[in-house]
Amino acid sequence: MDLDRHLEGGSLAGYRAPSLEAEALAERGWNRDDLAHFLKNGMSPQGSVFNEMFPVMHHSTQYLTDEDLSAMATYLLGDTPPEARRIEPRPLEALSDSARRGRQSYLDTCAGCHGGDGQGKPQVAVAMNGNTTLRLEDPTNLLRVMLDGIEARDFPGFARMQEMPGFAAHLSDAELADLGNYLRETWGGRPGDIAPEDVADLREDSAHAAP
């Protein structure tokens, strides 16, 4: 990670660490209360911690006082934070052809846990509606999660998220691209610009990184 780029984000363990600058956080739907809650509990309406962020919460930020967490959120978002952006789900008729194809994969493989309307299920899976990962300009984190999955995790206060299986062996590059476009267009306010080649590149990287 480039330490000269203060709070601008970078790459870590094959994932993109997103920008923590105030405007970028607000663009992804964060406000100070949600951010402090996320650091304390590992979950918020914007999603849950995963990958390299989980041990940060598990070993560190969950033990901070509420005052310290509030101070961290204020440091990142400022005394007068920018307004958190709200995104209304995009209707099916407004989606690209790729995203419309991806909707069927979502209903077949994702909706059982994440909900038909992206509402998620407590103690099972995070909501897609409002999910910060879907708002990132770079789709790498979303694609890696779809390919490799996320292991089950225990969170503070006896909360838990079930394992999310990876779909690398079950969905083709084209199907995963369509699914990613459906998620990003419907709930992320992003264009459907994921191509099968993008998935293929990450699939190859994951294969090389496997033990």
What is the spatial distance between Cα 79 and Cα 59, in angstroms, rounded to a whole number? 28
The CATH number assigned to the domain with range 92-209 reads 1.10.760.10
- Asked if 7 and 19 count as a contact pair (C-beta separation under 8 A), the reply is yes
Could you give the CA distance from residue 208 to residue 177 in angstroms, rounded to a whole number?
A: 21
What's the pLDDT at 1? 47
Counting beta carbons within 10 angstroms of the beta carbon of residue 124, is it exposed (0 to 12), middle (13 to 18) or buried (19 or more)?
middle
Per DSSP, the three-state class of 176 is helix
**Can you name the residues that pair with 48 across neighbouring β-strands?**
43
As a whole number of angstroms, the distance between CA 86 and CA 92 comes to 19
Domain boundaries, the chain: 10-77, 92-209
Parts of the chain with a pLDDT under 50? 1, 208, 211
DSSP 3-state of 198? helix
* Per-residue pLDDT reduced to its tens digit, 81-99: 999 999 999 999 999 999 9
Per-residue pLDDT, 4: 56
Please tell me the pTM assigned to this model.
0.91
